[in-house]
Amino acid sequence: MYFIIIKMKPLIKLLVFCYLAFISSNAIALTFKDGKAVEIEKSKILQVDGKYFLQWEILHTTVDKKTIIESWIDVIDQVNISNKDIKIIFGNADNLTDKYRKTVNLKFNNEDIILEGDIDISCDCPLKMKINLKREFVNEEYIYEGMGVWSEGKDKVEIVKVTLGPELNKNFISDIADYFEYYYTSYNLDSFKHLFNYSYLELNPIEISGDLYIPKNKEKYSLIIFQHGTGDPSNRSNTSFQRLVIPKLIENGIAVFINDHYSKRNIKGKQRAWLNFPTRLADSIQIIKKLVNDNKLNIQKIGFTGWSYGGMETMFLAYEPIKKLHNNNVDAFLSFYPDCQYMIEGDIDKNLKVILAEKDNSTNPIICEKYLIQNNIDYSIYENANHGFISGNGYKFFEKTWTWYNCPGGGIINQNGYVKFDGKLFGGTQDEIDLAITNLCGSQGVGSGDTKIIQSKAKDDLIDFFNLKFKK
């Protein structure tokens, strides 16, 4: 028997005093009344008028449902709620079949929400759904949750997860910062050679964007560029880590840019792993140059930080051959749990600091530590921490996700785009090189995520690091 149970993440985000403020036992704060917090008694009817997103995610798990084999966001729809009238504006899905999914509707049943309609995954076999979604108040927010099984086979379970949440308010700190969606021009590269010989500038340009936050009433300010990993950045600055960090930086007179490799390239779901590293670096180089040369901005110093693949970008930007490409415009680099399997020929800026996770089973901290010691780079290791600790959402294991964790390390990229790895020389496009290395020593199975305690430590360390660097 098939059944679907839908998991609902926060419907109501609470903003009392600040994002992590404690609330009283008698009242809560709601954020969907003209974009402002409205305090009501818990016993009163929930006020939910506003715009929301309806996110559909596909999960493949082991048969015991304890391990995630793979997962991806398939489509995000828009939901408008007015006086308990719910309207859904559907997007186009990749794996979920639209003609059935678009029959789904939501309706109120007192304080609960009923989801009903048809759904299938890559087949003409719709499943009827009518689910009563119960509201729970957990960790200062409302949650509608469940777990939905689409099919169960010998090797895996196919699950549909749907998240209904408020439309992401990008300018969540409007009282202290001005927000802009900021655009720049970049390119899609085949290899590192395109970077080093500047031939990428002759390729067809593409428009990329990100979120820019500038402190109000500040004539001059420093700026930090945030760079995501391979995970989906659809939330951009609305992840819990950014919401912890950005207000503190703004209060210290530091602007923030949240870069996004994927959205303007229409990369989503499984496609996110396809964007090669030279292209990511080109994006970072281009946005640095654009921000520095923007006469409308009064940037004094620039910092760069990122996590996982974004942490690797941060390290690469600190190499002298890459610094020349962005005109040495970055003053400080903070890298979280990067992959150190191969590096660039040349010296590396000592204004780099790297933070590793002791229990990282995705990017090998031992290989990184060895390299950092050899090159006299400042670093620290969080004890008992996992890869992805900035999320603070708990640990999850992904059985089929590929990693170079067991590779020997020590690879070198030369300025002709070749990679010397494990005594072998690899050439061709970067995709071909990465595939060859994966075939040589790649393995599957990575974990990600950690506690809010570790997340908070990362927040404090990031703020302290850039405050110190920018003061100097």
Task: Return the pLDDT at 183.
Answer: 97
Q: Are 359 and 385 in contact (CB under 8 A)?
A: yes
Tell whether 255 and 382 lie within a shared domain. yes
- Rounded average pLDDT over 208-226: 94
Whether 8 is covered by a domain: the verdict is no
206/274: higher pLDDT: 206
With tokens 């003409």, the residue in question is 124
Look up residue 94 and give its DSSP letter. S
Whether 18 is covered by a domain: the verdict is no
Residue-wise pLDDT tens digits, 336-372: 999 999 999 889 999 999 999 999 999 999 999 999 9
Work out the mean pLDDT of the chain and round it to a whole number: 83
Whether 172 is covered by a domain: the verdict is no
d(CA 170, CA 177): 11
Tell whether 100 and 50 lie within a shared domain. yes
Tell whether 330 and 213 lie within a shared domain. yes
- Length of the chain counted residue by residue: 472
d(CA 114, CA 64): 28
Task: Return the pLDDT at 147.
Answer: 67
Chosen domain end from 132, 166, 200: 166
Q: Are 239 and 231 in contact (CB under 8 A)?
A: no
Question: Quick one: pLDDT band at residue 31, thresholds 50, 70, 90?
Answer: very low
Whether 433 is covered by a domain: the verdict is yes
Amino acid (1-letter code) at residue 114: I
Tell whether 435 and 300 lie within a shared domain. yes
Residue-wise pLDDT tens digits, 294-319: 999 999 999 999 999 999 999 999 99
| pLDDT-wise least confident of 40-44, 61-65, 87-91 | 40-44
Task: Return the pLDDT at 141.
Answer: 52
Question: Quick one: pLDDT band at residue 137, thresholds 50, 70, 90?
Answer: low
Q: Are 385 and 454 in contact (CB under 8 A)?
A: yes
Nearest to 162 by CA among 9, 2, 51, 6: 6
Q: How many domains does the chain have?
A: 2
Whether 15 is covered by a domain: the verdict is no
Helices 277-292 & 430-441 angle (0-180, nearest 10): 130
Left if phi > 0, otherwise alpha if psi is -120 to 50, otherwise beta: which for 83?
Answer: left
Chosen domain end from 145, 166, 187: 166
Residue-wise pLDDT tens digits, 247-293: 999 999 999 999 999 989 988 766 666 789 999 999 999 999 999 99
Whether pLDDT at 26 is above 60: no
- Rounded average pLDDT over 179-184: 95
Q: Are 169 and 15 in contact (CB under 8 A)?
A: no
- Rounded average pLDDT over 122-139: 73
Task: Return the pLDDT at 413.
Answer: 93
Nearest to 354 by CA among 343, 341, 365: 365
Whether the predicted model's global pTM rises above the 0.75 cut: yes
Tell whether 216 and 328 lie within a shared domain. yes
- Rounded average pLDDT over 321-331: 95
Tell me, what CATH number does 466's domain have?
Answer: 3.40.50.1820
Tell whether 448 and 307 lie within a shared domain. yes
Pairing mode, strands 27-33 and 36-41: antiparallel
Q: Are 389 and 458 in contact (CB under 8 A)?
A: yes
Instruction: Provide the sign of the torsion angle of the four alpha carbons 203, 207, 210, 211, taken in this order.
Output: positive
Tell whether 291 and 330 lie within a shared domain. yes
Whether 1 is covered by a domain: the verdict is no
Nearest to 134 by CA among 3, 8, 42, 48: 8
Tell whether 186 and 125 lie within a shared domain. no
Tell whether 161 and 207 lie within a shared domain. no
Task: Return the pLDDT at 122.
Answer: 85
Task: Return the pLDDT at 13.
Answer: 35
Nearest to 242 by CA among 301, 177, 317, 300: 177
Provide the token pair at 2. 């098939």
Whether 20 is covered by a domain: the verdict is no
Nearest to 50 by CA among 98, 13, 103: 13
Q: Are 157 and 66 in contact (CB under 8 A)?
A: no
Pairing mode, strands 127-133 and 112-119: antiparallel
Tell whether 107 and 233 lie within a shared domain. no
Residue-wise pLDDT tens digits, 376-398: 999 999 999 999 999 887 888 88
Look up residue 205 and give its DSSP letter. P
- Please provide the distance, in angstroms rounded to a whole number, between the alpha carbons at the two ends of the chain: 65
Tell whether 335 and 458 lie within a shared domain. yes
Tell whether 161 and 208 lie within a shared domain. no
What is the domain range of residue 363?
177-471
d(CA 472, CA 414): 33
Chosen domain end from 146, 166, 186: 166
Task: Return the pLDDT at 119.
Answer: 85
Whether 138 is covered by a domain: the verdict is yes
Beta strands, E only, 42-146: 50-61, 68-82, 85-89, 105-109, 112-119, 127-133, 135-138, 141-144
